[in-house]
Amino acid sequence: MAVSEKRARRPYGLFVKCGHRVIASDPVHAPLRLFAPESGRWKTKVGVPAPATANVVPSDQVQSVLETWVGGEGTLEKTVRQLESSLPRVSEAYAKCVWGHTGALPYLEFLLEFEKRFQRIERELITLRSSCVAVISTFAPEPYDVLRPIYATLRQSDGEEYCASFTDANLHSSGDNEEEAIDNLKSLILDVYDSLTCEKPEDLGPEPVKQLAVLQSFLAKRANGVHPG
């Protein structure tokens, strides 16, 4: 890959080239732009400053920010993949800049800024992914009453699977999608509840005692064993 410098048609612009392709521009003098390899075109011109309250930004807003930063389209995952695929080439450009290419300083500044933005996006995504919560408010048609809503955390694990957790009771289950993971967790909660309530209290160790206490504060089996309606 050749790192070269050329003047843009506009009065600003230093570009990093990969072969005949320009893969990044210099934000010191120009707004951030990245090359989208699949379309072969520039898609965005505007560099957007990182949101100050990244951990409360909804995913659609993060996607919007990502799309503006990277010029991606479609899903968040696609945008992230674009960003990841861009990074090695940018790093290569970075390495060549370090070895004394003429006019390397603006590239270095750009690349360091790029790296910071990438790390910031990673942190935002981890925060967003780990903060997804589902509320369990019913076990219908099972004959159990929910005494107060159960907040289950949902996270994607192992690439394709989703894991739902009721952390207070240390109960976890997984599924192919969010809905299945929650359904499996509900099923497990009832199975464990039934199993623990059948035990004599003196047969329970410290953790099952705690689990049973937590479960009894969140749900109760209906006395007649029938779900209304």
Partner 1 sequence: MVFTQDDARKIAKKLGAKIEQGKRRHDLAVFRYQDKRIAQFGIRRASKEVGHGHLPDELFISPHQCRDLGNCPLSLEGYVAILRSKHKILDPQTP
The contact set with partner 1 (CB under 8 A) reads 157-158, 161, 163, 165, 170-174, 183-184, 187-188, 190-192, 194-196, 199, 203-208
Give least dist CB 145 to partner 1, A.
18
Instruction: Please state, in angstroms and rounded to a whole number, the distance separating the CA atoms of residues 97 and 105.
Output: 8
Give least dist CB 173 to partner 1, A.
6
Helices (H), 71-142: 76-98, 104-130
Structure tokens belonging to residue 135: 């509320």
Structure tokens belonging to residue 214: 């937590």
Check whether the bond before 206 is cis (ω within 30° of 0): no
Give least dist CB 133 to partner 1, A.
17
How many beta carbons lie within 10 A of that of residue 185, not counting itself? Answer: 24
Give least dist CB 132 to partner 1, A.
16
The smaller minimum CB distance to partner 1, of residues 36 and 154, is found at 154
C-beta pairs of 56-62 under 8 Å, 24+ apart in sequence: 57/124, 57/128, 59/128, 62/121, 62/124, 62/125, 62/128
The smaller minimum CB distance to partner 1, of residues 38 and 207, is found at 207
Across the strands, what pairs with 22? 17
Give least dist CB 84 to partner 1, A.
22
Give CA angle at 194 (146, 201), nearest 5°.
110
The smaller minimum CB distance to partner 1, of residues 48 and 204, is found at 204
The smaller minimum CB distance to partner 1, of residues 179 and 207, is found at 207
The smaller minimum CB distance to partner 1, of residues 38 and 191, is found at 191
Instruction: Please state, in angstroms and rounded to a whole number, the distance separating the CA atoms of residues 187 and 113.
Output: 48
The smaller minimum CB distance to partner 1, of residues 32 and 163, is found at 163
Give least dist CB 183 to partner 1, A.
8
